[in-house]
């Protein structure tokens, strides 16, 4: 197994601290301590806290993007089943942590979007990267006649991601996953209507 570089160790450790504490409450010393390296190493590798945060966000986004893409690109499963699996994975995470952690992108969007333009732009792009594989799966499913949407696939993908973000945020104050479960019920009802509509309009097999 290749040895993890000090830079990568700082990013991995710092991402966890940033997620748990938020941007303002995360000190450089905290990141260095968790990574087990001298404080000066942080500035040698990143220069500023904002530059570090950008790399930590990228790591978090890339991991999420890969997971969503792996699931949504699996067209051997019905698109509705894949969406259920996605929401269930989110819900399992929320329940395991009692709702306290939230999503790092959502947390930072609230905290830093008005204070750092570079981070705001990065966060906006990050949500788009998470929406893209979902939109692609919906588009392919609609083309196959598997589902009928009343809006374009990109809009529906944004609605799903936005709804999940709101439900995760609510979970942070309620300390329960109820909001995620309620979102799932309403979303599936909406999408199942689309499935039924697709069956009605698809050509009958002889």
Confidence of residue 199 (pLDDT cuts 50, 70, 90): confident
Inform me whether the pLDDT recorded for 157 exceeds 90: yes
Segment 9-51, tens digit of pLDDT: 899 999 999 999 999 999 999 998 988 888 888 999 999 999 9
* Long-range Cβ contacts of 112-116 (<8 Å, 24+ apart): 112/23, 112/53, 116/50, 116/53
Render 109-130 in DSSP notation, one character per residue.
HHHHTTT-HHHHHHHHHHHHHH
Q: Under a CB-based contact definition with an 8 Å cutoff, are residues 82 and 72 in contact?
A: yes
Segment 72-113, tens digit of pLDDT: 999 999 999 999 999 999 999 999 999 999 999 999 999 999
Inform me whether the pLDDT recorded for 62 exceeds 80: yes
Q: Under a CB-based contact definition with an 8 Å cutoff, are residues 84 and 188 in contact?
A: yes
pLDDT score of 57: 97
pLDDT score of 158: 98
pLDDT score of 52: 95
Mean pLDDT of 130-144: 97
Residues 6+ apart with CB under 8 A from 84: 184, 188
Task: Retrieve residue 2's tokens.
Answer: 């290749």
pLDDT score of 1: 47
Q: How far apart, in Å, do the first and last CA atoms of the chain sit? A: 57
Nearest to 142 by CA among 190, 88, 197, 185: 197
Is 56 buried (19+), middle (13-18) or exposed (0-12) by CB count in 10 A? buried
pLDDT > 70: what percent of the chain?
96
pTM tops 0.85, yes or no: yes
pLDDT score of 206: 43
Confidence of residue 3 (pLDDT cuts 50, 70, 90): low
Angle at 48 between CA 45 and CA 50, to 5 degrees: 115
Inform me whether the pLDDT recorded for 179 exceeds 70: yes
Residues 6+ apart with CB under 8 A from 180: 87, 90, 91, 94, 164, 167, 168, 171
Rounded CA gap, 117 and 105, in Å?
A: 15
Inform me whether the pLDDT recorded for 152 exceeds 60: yes
């Amino acid at each position: 197994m290749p040895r993890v570089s000090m830079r990568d160790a700082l990013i991995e450790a710092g991402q966890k601290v940033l997620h748990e504490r938020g941007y303002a409450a995360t000190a450089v010393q905290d990141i260095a301590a968790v990574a087990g390296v001298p404080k000066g190493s942080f500035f040698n590798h990143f220069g500023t806290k904002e530059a570090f945060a950008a790399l930590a966000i990228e790591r978090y986004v890339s991991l999420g993007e890969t997971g969503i893409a792996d699931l949504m690109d699996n067209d051997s499963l019905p698109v509705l089943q894949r969406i259920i699996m996605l929401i269930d994975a989110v819900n399992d995470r929320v329940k395991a942590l009692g709702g306290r952690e939230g999503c790092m992108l959502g947390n930072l969007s609230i905290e830093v979007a008005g204070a750092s333009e570079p981070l705001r732009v990065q966060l906006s792009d990050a949500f788009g990267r998470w929406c893209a594989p979902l939109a692609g799966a919906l588009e392919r499913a609609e083309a196959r006649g598997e589902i009928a949407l009343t809006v374009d696939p990109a809009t529906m993908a944004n609605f799903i991601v936005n709804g999940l973000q709101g439900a995760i945020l609510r979970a942070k104050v309620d300390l329960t996953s109820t909001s995620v479960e309620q979102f799932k019920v309403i979303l599936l009802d909406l999408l199942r209507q689309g499935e039924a509509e697709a069956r009605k309009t698809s050509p009958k097999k002889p």
